[in-house]
């Protein structure tokens, strides 16, 4: 046993005496190393070196019968590139282990630093256990916990008693955490949270790259900020650039729209999003849903496009309207009448279905400024038993219900009486009026012509053929019940047996019932 005392420079004799004592300690330590090397020690495993201690006491530990050196005050040790400092330590040279106490500082290179109240380090396995007020520092990343297991050989730190990590503006907490130092990657489990000045993120399981500041989700995960809510069961979020890619029940709510899809991409910084497969954009303010298999969205100026089985839904308690087209898009506009109103367009193969109104056309537009749906290119509209055709059609809505419709140029109204007989009205333009979403009156202006079959109960009593400048048609329960002709009408009523109903057609007559969407699913028929 030898004792090391502090060196003093008061005299050459004191200096000489202390050099002798230090030399003795060194020789004793070397003898311990040579005598107590364990049989299982593998070649190449370097011994822990004692770099400094103000005092060292060599003895045999009674409980383990192991040789031990008790190092006191200003202790520093080293194994290869790993350094340890503390207030005191128990060094077991025979098994190459250290127990250290108070003000622990373990560091490797110039980036990784580990602090705590106590340390156990096995130099053979290069495993460290640090307990009490633990702090791990790796560049800009700080881990705070009460206990860490650190695999020095593989650069892996673990905790399972709860931890807190700070990295940039992000603070992460979890019950379990594993830090892969070389990969700059944390793996978190159980009650995972990320708190940022702009959002809070929660997950069951999460990986976090401290270098890229990217979070990877597994299991139910959500993020909420002032302008965005995000939910998924798998995905990633780049916290530095505010970019996310999420899938599996993915939802993004930007407080204006709710976006869903099998897979979503969202750039919050630039207000840009993509959605893939089973996508939907829900506008809760306007009670609108747009669905499809592919969609993109821009926040400013606000606009979106949906394609691949695209569907637009105007939600109403009484009668929702469904529109299908190859492509549906919308853009936000402003003019002298209204600021920031939405203009929606649908292209190619448009089909509309509601309980009281159906339509087809090649393209259409819907302005939220005046709540008007405009149909272009060979439009056909059906209301109850009436078919309406013209070069273009405008449907004016109020409170999400049809209020009136206007047909421009070559307006034609047809309703079927039986297999061969059709009531027909045509003119230059037409205006239809709705009550409770049902057509009850039609006005025809300019070059009016009619073929109207008169009924006596269920029997056909005759047919009225007339021409005039203006026509008024009254409709009940979807059927034409009366026609009024104004301004120099010319007409004739013939008995039913004197005319061929098949040949009795006005120019421009078509009957397109086979194209009519009779249920919601029919909007996808070509």
Output the DSSP codes for 52-79.
Answer: E-SEEEEEE-TTT--EEEEEEEEEEEEE
Length of the chain: 526
Predicted confidence (pLDDT) per residue in 89-103, tens digit = 999 999 999 999 999
pLDDT lower than 70: segments of the chain: 1-45, 336-338
Neighbours of 336 (CB within 10 A): 5
- The DSSP secondary-structure symbol of 427 reads E
Helix/strand/coil (H/E/C) assignment for every residue in 181-245: CCCCEEEEEEEEEEEECCEEEEEEEEEEECCCCEEEEEEEEEEEECCCEEEEEEEEEECCCCEEE
Q: Which of 236, 237, 232, 228 is nearest to 219 (CA)?
A: 232
- What domains can you pick out in the chain, each with its CATH number? 379-526 (2.60.450)
Residue 148 tokens read as 């860490």
- Element spanning 26, H or E: helix 12-35
Burial class (CB in 10 A: 0-12, 13-18, 19+), 264: buried
* Phi, psi for residue 242 in degrees, rounded to 5: 55, 50
Q: What DSSP designation does 275 have?
A: E
- The pLDDT value recorded for residue 336 is 67
Sign of the dihedral defined by the CA atoms of residues 93, 96, 97, 102, in that order: positive
d(CA 499, CA 161): 94
Torsion of CA 57, 58, 61, 64, to 10 degrees: 130
In this structure, how many other beta carbons lie within 10 angstroms of the beta carbon of residue 153?
11
Let me know if 499 is exposed, middle or buried by CB neighbors in 10 A (0-12, 13-18, 19+). middle
Strand partners, 459: 456
Q: Quote the strand ranges of 420-514, DSSP E.
A: 422-435, 438-456, 459-476, 479-486, 490-494
**Owner of token pair 């302008």:** 227
DSSP 8-state class, residue 129: E
The whole-angstrom separation of Cα 135 and Cα 107 is: 12
Contact 362, 377 (CB under 8 A): yes
Contacts for 484 with CB less than 8 Å, ≥ 6 apart: 471, 472, 473, 474
Number of C-beta neighbours around residue 323 at 10 A: 23
**What pLDDT sits at residue 510?**
94
Torsion sign across C-alpha atoms 516, 522, 524, 525: negative
Contact 113, 134 (CB under 8 A): no
- From the list 250, 274, 172, the residue with the least C-alpha distance to 214 is 172
Question: What integer pLDDT is reported at residue 27 of this predicted model?
Answer: 34
Residue 254: predicted pLDDT: 80
Distance CA 143, CA 133 (A): 10
Q: What does the alpha-carbon distance between residue 169 and residue 171 come to, in Å, rounded to a whole number?
A: 7
Instruction: Report yes or no: 184 and 198 within 8 Å, Cβ to Cβ.
Output: no
**Please, what is the end-to-end C-alpha distance for the chain in angstroms?**
98
**Residue 420: how many CA atoms within 13 Å on its side-chain side?**
8
DSSP code for 110: T
The structure's pTM equals 0.72
The pair of three-digit structure tokens given for residue 489, joined into one six-digit string: 């009408």
Half-sphere exposure of 519 (CA within 13 A, CB side): 1
The CA radius of gyration of the chain, in Å to the nearest whole number, is 42
Closest residue by Cα to residue 397 from 376, 377, 375, 368: 368
Contact 246, 232 (CB under 8 A): yes
């Amino acid at each position: 046993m030898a004792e090391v005392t502090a060196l003093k420079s008061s005299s050459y004799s004191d200096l000489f005496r202390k050099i002798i004592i230090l030399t003795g300690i060194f020789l004793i330590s070397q003898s311990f190393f040579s005598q107590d090397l364990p049989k299982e020690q593998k070649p190449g495993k370097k011994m822990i070196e004692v770099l400094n201690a103000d005092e060292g006491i060599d003895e045999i530990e009674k409980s383990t019968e192991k040789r031990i050196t008790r190092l006191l005050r200003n202790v520093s040790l080293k194994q290869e590139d790993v350094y340890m400092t503390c207030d005191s330590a128990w060094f077991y040279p025979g098994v190459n282990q250290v127990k250290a106490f108070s003000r622990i500082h373990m560091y490797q290179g110039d980036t990784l630093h580990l602090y705590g109240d106590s340390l156990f380090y096995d130099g053979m396995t290069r495993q460290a256990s640090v307990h009490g007020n633990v702090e791990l520092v790796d560049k800009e990343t700080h881990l705070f916990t009460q206990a860490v297991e650190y695999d020095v050989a593989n650069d892996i730190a673990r905790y399972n008693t709860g931890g807190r990590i700070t990295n940039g503006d992000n603070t992460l907490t979890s019950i379990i955490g594993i830090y892969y130092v070389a990969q700059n990657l944390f793996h978190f489990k159980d009650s995972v949270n990320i708190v940022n000045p702009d959002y809070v993120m929660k997950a069951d399981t999460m990986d976090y790259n401290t270098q890229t500041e990217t979070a990877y989700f597994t299991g139910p995960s959500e993020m909420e900020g002032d302008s965005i809510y995000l939910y998924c069961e798998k995905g990633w979020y780049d916290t530095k650039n505010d970019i996310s890619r999420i899938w599996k029940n993915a939802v993004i709510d930007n407080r204006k729209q709710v976006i869903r899809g099998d897979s979503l991409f969202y750039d919050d910084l630039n207000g840009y999003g993509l959605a893939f497969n089973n996508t939907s954009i829900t506008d809760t303010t306007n009670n609108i849903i747009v669905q499809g298999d592919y969609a993109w969205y821009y926040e400013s100026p606000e606009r979106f496009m949906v394609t691949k089985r695209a569907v637009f839904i105007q939600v109403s308690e009484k009668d929702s309207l469904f529109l299908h087209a190859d492509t549906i898009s919308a853009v936000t506009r402003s003019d002298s009448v209204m600021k920031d109103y939405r203009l929606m367009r649908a292209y190619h193969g448009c089909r509309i279905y509601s309980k009281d109104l159906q339509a087809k056309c090649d393209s259409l537009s819907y302005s939220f400024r005046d709540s008007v749906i405009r149909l272009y290119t060979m439009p056909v509209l059906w209301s109850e038993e009436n078919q309406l055709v013209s070069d273009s059609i405008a449907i004016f809505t109020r409170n999400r219900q049809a209020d009136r419709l206007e047909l421009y140029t070559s307006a034609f109204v047809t309703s079927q009486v039986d297999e061969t007989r059709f009531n027909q009205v045509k003119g230059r333009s037409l205006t239809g009026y709705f009550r409770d979403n049902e057509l009850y009156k039609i006005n025809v202006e300019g070059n009016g012509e009619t073929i109207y079959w008169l009924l006596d109960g269920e029997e056909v009593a005759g047919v009225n053929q007339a021409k005039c400048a203006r026509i008024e048609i009254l409709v009940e329960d979807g059927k034409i019940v009366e026609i009024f002709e104004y301004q120099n009408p010319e007409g004739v009523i013939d008995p039913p047996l004197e005319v061929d109903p098949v040949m009795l057609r006005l120019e421009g007559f078509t009957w397109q019932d086979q194209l009519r969407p009779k249920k919601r699913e029919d909007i996808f028929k070509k």
